[in-house]
Amino acid sequence: MCAKILLVGQGLAGSVLALQAEEAGFDVHIADDDRPIRASQWAGGLVNPVSFKRLTLSWKIDELLPVMYQFLTAVETKFQLKFYTPLNFHRVFASIEEQNQWDVISEGPKGKYYSSKRIENRNSVAVEAPFGIGEVLHAGWLNVPHFLSVARNYFISKQKFHQQTIAEKDLHKKDNMWVWNEIKFDFVVVCSGVSLTEWPSLSTLNVIPNKGETVTLNLPEADWNEMIHFGNFLLPLDTNKYKLGATFDWSPTDEFPTETAKEELLKAFQCHIRTPFQVLQHNAGLRPTTKDRRPILGCIEENGIQFFGGLGAKGVLLAPYFSKMLVAHLMHGTPLDHEVNAKRYLKS
């Protein structure tokens, strides 16, 4: 008989883990209560191998990217649907120093992610780029809401999706198994994003909420299909429809969209791109971040409740690699990497 696993939370973390755990042979149940603070529903969905702050490569990119491609190819084949679009990413250089730094990197060993080709400002809409534009390779976009909705419908069709809140008090242990709703589980994995209040035994995990806001714009004169970055990103969604984001607020008091963040985004947009626009939508979510910027996997106490999360601003890239690691750990006892292991939060 295959081992049973209950996942609490069906955001990116829970959905990717659910599909990988099932593929590995687990009998998977998943629950979600659609709370408004969830991050995945509002994620940009961008995959960007380069961190523009210092033009460094994203952490573990050479290991994460192949696993992400492998996972997305497998789910696209399974569902006969397209979730991921490879898109080049145009970086509007912030200074001449950045342009020079880019040229040096693109000629070196990390050059496979930084194109040495200079991009012409060839859009019909003018992008203010006095220092030029560079192109990041191997970037792309996951349509996260579409992926989540397909994953949910799949588990609904198997009668393994539970539309409800689950808290630690709803579970008890019997014969070394977790019992919830009279169903016995070998493992319970909480994938609850920033929400940890229902889980006293996970209270030492320090998941820090970071609020992000985006606006969706109608740009009737825009015709480009690349992602553009000028301090903020602009992502093509549909004909004339673009997502502009995202803000970072490290001290959020709530999860609601704010006028301040909207103005910040629109000001940055208007400084760099001259074209008429209308705001179609404005959204906010809370990114689950951690102090050491590393995800959290596993349990704190031996045979305790497991956690998978802390994916920060890079959920799309991190989720497949680290859920695969957690699945191997639960199935075969394969050790978790120390830097992502939940046990790093153990109080000494």
Ligand X SMILES: Cc1cc2nc3c(=O)[nH]c(=O)nc-3n(C[C@H](O)[C@H](O)[C@H](O)COP(=O)(O)OP(=O)(O)OC[C@H]3O[C@@H](n4cnc5c(N)ncnc54)[C@H](O)[C@@H]3O)c2cc1C
For ligand X, the binding residues (CB under 6 A) are 8-14, 31-35, 38-40, 42-46, 165-167, 191-193, 195, 198, 212-214, 245-246, 285, 287-288, 309, 311-317
- The minimum distance between CB 43 and ligand X, in angstroms, equals 3
Question: For residue 94, how many other CB atoms are within 10 A of its CB?
Answer: 14
Give whichever of 121 and 163 is closer to ligand X, judged by the CB atom.
163
- The minimum distance between CB 246 and ligand X, in angstroms, equals 4
Exposed, middle or buried, 88 (CB in 10 Å: 0-12/13-18/19+)? Answer: middle
Choose among 139, 144, 121: nearest CA to 224: 121
Which pair of structure tokens corresponds to residue 315? Answer: 């959920």
- The minimum distance between CB 297 and ligand X, in angstroms, equals 12
Give whichever of 40 and 216 is closer to ligand X, judged by the CB atom.
40
Give whichever of 64 and 133 is closer to ligand X, judged by the CB atom.
64
- The minimum distance between CB 56 and ligand X, in angstroms, equals 17
CA-CA-CA-CA dihedral for 43, 46, 50, 51, to nearest 10: -20
**Separation of alpha carbons 90 and 139, rounded Å:** 10
SS3 154: helix
Long-range contacts of 264-267 (CB under 8 A, 24+ apart): 265/213, 265/214, 265/215, 265/232, 266/215
**Separation of alpha carbons 216 and 24, rounded Å:** 38
Report the helix count and the strand count for the chain, using DSSP H and E.
Answer: 6, 24
- The minimum distance between CB 327 and ligand X, in angstroms, equals 16
Phi-psi region of 60 (alpha: psi -120 to 50; beta: other; left: phi over 0): left
Give whichever of 12 and 105 is closer to ligand X, judged by the CB atom.
12
- The minimum distance between CB 190 and ligand X, in angstroms, equals 7
Give whichever of 114 and 307 is closer to ligand X, judged by the CB atom.
307
Give whichever of 38 and 294 is closer to ligand X, judged by the CB atom.
38
Give whichever of 38 and 329 is closer to ligand X, judged by the CB atom.
38
**Separation of alpha carbons 292 and 285, rounded Å:** 21
**R_g over Cα of the chain:** 21
Looking only at the bridges linking them, the beta strands covering 296-299 and 227-229 are: unpaired
- The minimum distance between CB 289 and ligand X, in angstroms, equals 8
Which pair of structure tokens corresponds to residue 124? Answer: 């019909």
SS3 14: helix
- The minimum distance between CB 95 and ligand X, in angstroms, equals 24
Peptide bond before 246: cis, by omega within 30 degrees of 0? yes
Give whichever of 34 and 223 is closer to ligand X, judged by the CB atom.
34
Give whichever of 106 and 286 is closer to ligand X, judged by the CB atom.
286
- The minimum distance between CB 109 and ligand X, in angstroms, equals 25
**Separation of alpha carbons 4 and 160, rounded Å:** 11
- The minimum distance between CB 319 and ligand X, in angstroms, equals 7
Give whichever of 121 and 225 is closer to ligand X, judged by the CB atom.
225
